[in-house]
Amino acid sequence: MSKVLEFGEKVDEYDVRVLNEREIRAGAGILFLFAMISFLNSWLIGDFSVTRIFVTIFLFDFFIRVFINPKYAPSLILGRFAVRNQQVEYVGASQKRFAWGVGFGLALLMFYLIVIQNVIGPLNLLVCLVCLGLLFFESAFGVCLACGVYNLFHAERAKLCPGNNCELEQRVTIQKVSLVQLIVVVLFMGLLFVVSNTPLISEGMQVALEDEVSEVIVEEKDCTVPEFAIAMGHEEKWKLHNGCTDKVSTVTVEEKDCTVPEFAIAMGHEEKWKLHNGCD
């Protein structure tokens, strides 16, 4: 039983328990993917059912990581399978446990708010964005932000950090960002702005809305927009997320060829093609 309820692996050449950083990053990437899907589903169409499912699974996964054994967490099992042919990169287990404890706390808060109490508001958004940020930095950059806080609460500093950044004292030439590289990034951002404002792009993003076709009747629901939503400029988003949309508008597309191509018909995606091309 003690073998099951342990945290990290014991490797002879290290004096602390360790985990595989590649496996951890892969697990974070898997969670980030589904977290982003649930977030966009809630933000864009006001459907929180996927978010409730994901929050429950996320809480369950992190409970296993922190209180049982990370090797039995579903996301880390999938991550281990995905990187099974890559060389192991050992990292200290203690700082990861601290970071995952932070994640479990955030998951517990979200579970209480959105699953039990069905609360929809700025607090949910803030917690969700924090979780997305932590997962993104871990999966994309190998940076454990919560691990950086570990040293503030522990006398013994973290050992075996990802990328050896605990012991890194001086960057070599290949790690340094030059002025020319910064200029390239600025020029790229300028190009992105110019391209996004060209007539070809901007006209394609604009749609003509027909007159109001029907009203949504909301029974026994207080649809008074709270002051914080008005102050944030999110009045319409608040209405969408709380089922208080005032109108149902249809999109009309003028002078558009809505002939479904053969490849879409062959794939059985005729209706999807029409939806994605504004031909409903």
Q: What is the mean pLDDT of residues 85-108?
A: 93
Q: What is the mean pLDDT of residues 62-83?
A: 95
**Which two tokens mark 278?**
């504004």
Say whether both 42 and 174 belong to one domain.
no
pLDDT at 280 over 80: no
- Residue 155's pLDDT band (boundaries 50, 70, 90)? confident
3-class state of residue 229 by DSSP: helix
Domain membership of residue 278 (yes or no) is no
Say whether both 174 and 164 belong to one domain.
no
Residues 6+ apart with CB under 8 A from 137: 143, 144, 145
Say whether both 25 and 154 belong to one domain.
yes
**Which two tokens mark 104?**
């479990």
pLDDT at 212 over 60: no
Note the pLDDT tens digit of each residue in 242-270.
877 754 444 444 566 788 888 778 777 67
Domain membership of residue 255 (yes or no) is no
The phi, psi pair for 105, rounded to 5°, reads -60, -45
Largest CA-CA distance found in the chain, in angstroms, rounded: 73
What's the pLDDT score for residue 40?
A: 93
Count of domains observed in the chain: 2
Domain membership of residue 272 (yes or no) is no
Say whether both 85 and 186 belong to one domain.
no
Q: Is 142 left (phi over 0), alpha (psi -120 to 50) or beta?
A: left
Domain membership of residue 236 (yes or no) is no
Say whether both 25 and 132 belong to one domain.
yes
Say whether both 125 and 144 belong to one domain.
yes
Residues 6+ apart with CB under 8 A from 61: 31, 73, 74, 75
Which carries the bigger pLDDT value, residue 267 or residue 11? 11
Burial (CB count within 10 angstroms: exposed 0-12, middle 13-18, buried 19+), residue 174: exposed
CB 11, CB 90: distance < 8 Å: yes
Name residue 111's amino acid. Answer: F
Which carries the bigger pLDDT value, residue 190 or residue 239? 190
What's the pLDDT score for residue 151?
A: 80
Say whether both 86 and 189 belong to one domain.
no
Distance, CA of 278 to CA of 250 (rounded, Å): 10
Please report, in angstroms and rounded to a whole number, the separation of the first and last CA atoms in the chain: 59
Give the structural domain span for 66.
Answer: 18-168
pLDDT at 209 over 70: no
Say whether both 76 and 143 belong to one domain.
yes
Note the pLDDT tens digit of each residue in 160-201.
888 777 776 677 888 889 999 999 999 999 998 888 888 766
Which carries the bigger pLDDT value, residue 151 or residue 53? 53
Domain membership of residue 271 (yes or no) is no
- Residue 3's pLDDT band (boundaries 50, 70, 90)? low
Domain membership of residue 264 (yes or no) is no
**Which two tokens mark 17?**
């328990």
What's the pLDDT score for residue 173?
A: 86
Domain membership of residue 192 (yes or no) is yes
pTM, two decimal places: 0.72
CB 53, CB 91: distance < 8 Å: no
Among candidate residues 168, 195, 229, the one where a domain is terminated: 168
Say whether both 27 and 160 belong to one domain.
yes
Note the pLDDT tens digit of each residue in 15-56.
889 999 999 999 999 999 999 999 999 888 888 999 999 999
Say whether both 196 and 137 belong to one domain.
no
Domain membership of residue 158 (yes or no) is yes
The phi, psi pair for 90, rounded to 5°, reads -80, 135
Which carries the bigger pLDDT value, residue 261 or residue 95? 95
Distance, CA of 265 to CA of 38 (rounded, Å): 29
What's the pLDDT score for residue 132?
A: 94
